[in-house]
Amino acid sequence: MDNGASSYLRFLDGDDNAFVSIIRDYKDGLILYLDSFTHNIYIAEDLMEDTFVKIATKKPAFYRGSSFKTWLYAIAGNIARDWLRRNRRKITVSIDDISADLIAEDDLERQYLREERCIATRRALRKINSDYAQVLYLVYFEGFTNEQAAKVMRKSKRQVENLIYRAKQSLKSELDKEGFTYEEL
């Protein structure tokens, strides 16, 4: 049983500090995952909060057939899909509003180049199909296995493998359009 699962079980037994631990461990990754649905970091933050509120109030059962992280991301994905259905016509995406998380480095020139790569990659991820962006985020940024990503996205493992292949091709194409040079995709 992973740390999230044991914390959740402690929370179900009445330990509120265990829930604080779950939030601390998973909130940042959930926000970035939910941003792949909404293309708006502020809405993603709201949906992340909705996910934790749902878990805290409804206390859904956790089945040990999958990892806690997979279970949590599946719940968050369902909340995001519900939000998309309710707000389908209200969504506006502005490429100018895209911001990248920056990693501080000593060398200013390297930091600038890293920032430009992050911005270009983030911009390209926003331009490709939403399923492509989600699968790339889950597998490459969150470290999910193809099987775990399949559970979260409600697809078969084979479909996820095909999505990853097509997503990489689509991302490469978008990066080529922007004149981005990349080492390996």
Identify whether residues 46 and 12 lie together within a single domain. yes
> Which residues span the domain enclosing 173?
105-177
Residues 74 and 143 occupy one common structural domain: no
- For residues 74 and 13, state if they share a domain: yes
Question: What total of structural domains would you count in the chain?
Answer: 2
Which of 76, 126, 131, 139 lies closest to 99 in space, CA to CA? Answer: 126
What pLDDT score does 123 carry? 81
Same domain, 128 and 57: no
Answer whether residue 100 is part of any domain. Answer: no
CA distance 6 to 73: 17
Whether residue 54 is contained in a domain is answered as yes
Residues 149 and 134: their CA atoms lie apart, in Å, by 9
Check whether residue 109 and residue 81 sit in a common domain: no
**Residue 43 is part of a domain; what is its CATH number?**
1.10.1740.10
Same structural domain, 82 and 111: no
Q: Is residue 40 part of a domain?
A: yes
Q: What CATH number corresponds to the domain at position 170?
A: 1.10.10.10
Domain boundary among 86, 118, 136: 86
Residue 129 and residue 62 in one domain: no
Six-digit token string for 32: 């970035």
Question: Given this model, what pLDDT does residue 181 score?
Answer: 62
Q: What is the pTM of this model?
A: 0.57
Is 97 within a domain? no
Residue 185 covered by a domain: no
| Same-domain status, 54 and 8 | yes
Say yes or no: 125 and 159 in one domain: yes
Q: Does residue 32 fall inside a structural domain?
A: yes
Do 123 and 100 meet the contact criterion of CB atoms below 8 Å apart? Answer: no
CA 11 → CA 7, 31, 67, 74, distances in Å?
Answer: 6, 22, 17, 19
178 three-class SS: coil
Give the integer Cα–Cα distance in Å for 51 and 80. Answer: 9
Q: Please report whether residue 91 resides in a domain.
A: no
Joined tokens for residue 83: 């939000």
Domain-located, residue 11: yes
Together in a domain, 64 and 133: no
Q: Tell me the average confidence (pLDDT) per consecutive run of 10 residues in the chain, 185 residues long.
A: 77 90 92 87 93 92 82 92 83 43 42 70 83 87 89 91 91 80 55
The CA R_g of the chain, rounded to the nearest whole Å, is: 17
Domain finish residue from 53, 86, 119: 86
Q: Are 115 and 105 in contact (CB under 8 A)?
A: no
- Summarised one tens digit per residue, pLDDT across range 109-163 is 566 566 777 777 778 888 888 888 888 888 888 889 999 999 988 999 999 999 9
